Amino acid sequence: MIDRQSFAPGADWVPDEAEYRERMARWRDASRTDLEALTSSQGPDDFETLDVRGNVAEWTGEAGDPSAARDLYAALIDAHTGRSDFLGRDLATHHPWWAARSHDAE
């Protein structure tokens, strides 16, 4: 799993945009590694696997690729339409936000 301390900024850290995007890309890449392991060991529908898929989508957008984030959220929503738990509601909130950002970037 991700060693969150290795990515945590100091209390006085204020990133510029490039530094922020690079940090988010590192989180995305680490989460992709976790996702592969979780999908293998626990399956694609496991709650923790789904949570990490959401993280990958979020950090993909924060790293500067809102179109890919939109597509990752859409795939997650399509795979789990009808979920009534908080994950389903969270996905429904994030997808339109990234869709709007991806439209602005195009």
Of 24-33, 44-53, 56-65, the range with the lowest mean pLDDT is 44-53
Residue 72 has pLDDT above 70, yes or no: yes
Domain definitions of the chain by residue range: 17-105
Q: What is the pLDDT of residues 20-38, one digit of tens each?
A: 899 899 999 999 999 999 9
By CB neighbour count within 10 A (0-12 exposed, 13-18 middle, 19+ buried), where does 52 fall? buried
Contacts of 65 (CB under 8 A, 6+ apart): none
